[in-house]
Amino acid sequence: MSPTTPPPPAGLTAGVWTIDASHSEAAFSVRHAGISKVRGTVAITAGELTVGEDLTTSSVTATLDPATVSTGDAGRDGHLQSADFFEVETYPTWTFTSTSVRAAGSDFVIAGDLTLHGVTQPVELATEFNGTAVDAYGNLRAGFSSTTTISRKDFGLTWNAALEAGGVLVSDKVAMTIEISAIRQA
């Protein structure tokens, strides 16, 4: 390891960490009608973190299920799952595969390829390591919080409706927040 390549944070041991889908989630918010935000979640169904001896040998993969989109409104969820937006029958999974991990002060940036709606685009996740803990079952867990903003149009998600006063119903920018709990594998 070179002096310019920092090791993983203290407590995050090298090896494979499996994302615990029942304690992990991707959330989003998008401006609606230019005046409010709609928030929702999408389930993370699988994933893995490989922690190397330094950041350059670390990686992350994750799979999400767009059919699990939940905004608190069944009608809106159905519309998001339809051909107007996610086309979940044609594109039943979204994936993220990291291409690099680097330090950013006391936090990290995980760069990678996000594939949703059949389109792959590079994204960068500003990531905070939240520490480790041993759970009630003896599993060593690590927690992470990540954020990014994507453009719907970059992923071919272009459905919209014009507003009478000008503007559009759904903004192009989507803020995403990802919470991960991962379990260290033996």
Identify the CA nearest to 148 among candidates 129, 176, 122.
176
Q: What is the pLDDT of residues 114-135, one digit of tens each?
A: 999 999 999 999 999 999 999 9
Question: What pLDDT, on a 0 to 100 scale, did the predictor assign at position 166?
Answer: 60
Residue pLDDT, tens place only, 14-37 = 999 999 999 999 999 987 765 678
Q: How does pLDDT run across 131-146, given as a tens digit for each residue?
A: 999 999 999 999 999 9
